[in-house]
Structure 1
Amino acid sequence: MLLQGKVAIVTGGVTGIGKSIAIGLHEQGAKIAINHLPSQINLFNDIKEIIPDALSVPGDISKPETSQFIVDETIKKFQKIDILVSNAGICEFKDFLETDAQTYQRTVEINLNGSYFITQAVGKQMKEQGHGGSIIAISSISALVGGGKQVHYTPTKAGILSLMQSCACALGPYGIRCNAILPGTIRTQLNDEDMKDDTKRQYMEGRIPLGRLGKTDDLIGPAVFLASDLSEYVNGAQLLVDGGLFVNLQ
């Protein structure tokens, strides 16, 4: 129970990596507030069966007012915030020369702007509380390497990594630690269709030293570590969770 008595916000917390992390933090004793799109209320209700006292905070994370709403609703129910996992994001594979402006702008708005606004809103609350906290942003191995069909996506993940590095400096004096997790190829709803291609999946698996794609549950341990006092002197760090993919690309 490494997080007993802690309160955590997880954005994009009803599917994929966010859902696994929300459940993992709960299993370590944390109270959980989950942000999700209003249309995903049925998915939240499924999580309520696992986390009975979970708080639903619907809203579009790309809008600045959503982040303040998430903070206000969490404080109303749980009285404080100790942990933020900024996870909400989208990834649509597209050819660079065929990517329209709307796709690019929406990806930036959700992935990067959303992470910025929620980090700022939670950072203000944590400073006011006066006892520090842990902010974790889900970046990606794509922050470090290119992708021909991800030109609209990779800059947002690099931006999230940079955001955490800068916020480590800006918020560190208040005892607020800011770190990034960089997943490799994790099988989620975002890439499920892409990974149905056996040839492509086997190619991807062949590049990973551990010989398999990641599971969403592979992110639980790293998130719990960064959220807990086990990492009380870890600030501004990037934690690759990729089965060794990045070093094998050298």
Structure 2
Amino acid sequence: MQLLEGKTVLITGASAGIGRAAAIGAARHGADVAINYLREDAAAASCVAEIEALGRRAIAVKGDVSDPATAADFVARAVDALGRVDVFVNNAGICPFHAFLDMPVETFERTMRVNLHGAYYMVQAAANQMVRQGQGGAIVAVSSISALVGGEFQTHYTPTKAGVHSLMQSAAIALGKHGIRCNSVLPGTILTEINRDDLADPAKRERMAARIPLGRLGEPDDLAGPIVFLASDLARYVTGAALLVDGGAFVNLQ
């Protein structure tokens, strides 16, 4: 069963990690896919090639999500190449780990611009295209378990992920009358480039995994299914919701 047959999906930050897994997962479920990326040309090209190997159309559009012009450009070029926007996945994000008391201003502001401002611009541009099309749509934002809990070296990052979650709640209200659903996924600790250095110590990785009821850290592919579900008509009455995808980490207080 292909849950996204005939749909066009746009995903930010999709040359690697969760975004790439979601892009390929969407293609496996019948979608044509446009990916946004910032630096890795070869990785973006290989993602497009994997999608095309599944018999779907794909394009990669380079751009920095912190620039408002990038959002309009990404949506316009996706529509030009693929015809429309049915699903938008806001995934692009950064987390340069740093202590709170001496947080560099530029580190804080860059994290805000990419993770929160970029999400706002991108979601707004995609939503406007969906409204013009007049057939509804689905928006899924990759927030984080960090929207719900703190992190000593993430004082700049956790507020952005809480903001993305809040954005989806408010956008669900603003866009419901247009038939556009807005939801979040909240990943736990997923092994990606964002935390590769932080989890390079085997002892720390083992300690983190031991806290998770399912007994392992997450992988990018663990997010593909939940994102496809929220984007699909199986979730046609789900909006303003947040789905934890964390192996049970959040509930493991005791």
The residue number in structure 1 matching 2:127 is 123
What secondary structure sits across from 1:8 in the alignment? strand
For 1:79-90, list aligned pairs within 5 A: 79-90=83-94
Tell me the TM-score normalised to structure 1 length. 0.98
The residue number in structure 2 matching 1:69 is 73
Aligned-partner Cα distance in 1 for 2:138–2:153: 33
Aligned-partner Cα distance in 2 for 1:249–1:187: 22
RMSD (CA atoms): 0.8
Tell me the TM-score normalised to structure 2 length. 0.96
Aligned-partner Cα distance in 1 for 2:205–2:43: 27
Aligned-partner Cα distance in 2 for 1:80–1:114: 21
Aligned-partner Cα distance in 1 for 2:253–2:13: 29
The residue number in structure 2 matching 1:41 is 41
Counterpart code for 1:47: C
User: Aligned pair 1:134/2:138, yes or no?
Assistant: yes
What secondary structure sits across from 1:194 in the alignment? coil
The residue number in structure 2 matching 1:111 is 115
1:6-35 residue CA offsets vs partner (Å, 9 max, x unmatched): 000000000100000000001100000000
Aligned-partner Cα distance in 2 for 1:26–1:81: 14
Alpha-carbon shift at residue 195 of structure 1 (Å): 1.2
User: Aligned pair 1:9/2:13, yes or no?
Assistant: no
Q: Which moved more, 1:198-207 or 1:20-29?
A: 198-207
The residue number in structure 2 matching 1:54 is 58
The residue number in structure 2 matching 1:95 is 99
Counterpart code for 2:40: Q
Alpha-carbon shift at residue 48 of structure 1 (Å): 2.5
Counterpart code for 2:18: I
What secondary structure sits across from 2:115 in the alignment? helix
The residue number in structure 2 matching 1:204 is 208
The residue number in structure 2 matching 1:30 is 31
Q: Larger helix proportion, structure 1 or 2?
A: 1
User: Aligned pair 1:223/2:227, yes or no?
Assistant: yes
Aligned-partner Cα distance in 1 for 2:233–2:66: 30
Whether the aligned pair in 1 keeps the contact of 2:14 and 2:92 (CA below 8 Å) is yes
Whether the aligned pair in 1 keeps the contact of 2:48 and 2:60 (CA below 8 Å) is no
Alpha-carbon shift at residue 249 of structure 1 (Å): 2.6
Whether the aligned pair in 1 keeps the contact of 2:10 and 2:34 (CA below 8 Å) is yes
1:197-226 residue CA offsets vs partner (Å, 9 max, x unmatched): 122111111110011000110001101100
| Residue of structure 1 aligned with 2:172, choices 168, 175, 189 | 168
1:162-187 residue CA offsets vs partner (Å, 9 max, x unmatched): 00000000001100000000000001
What secondary structure sits across from 2:130 in the alignment? helix
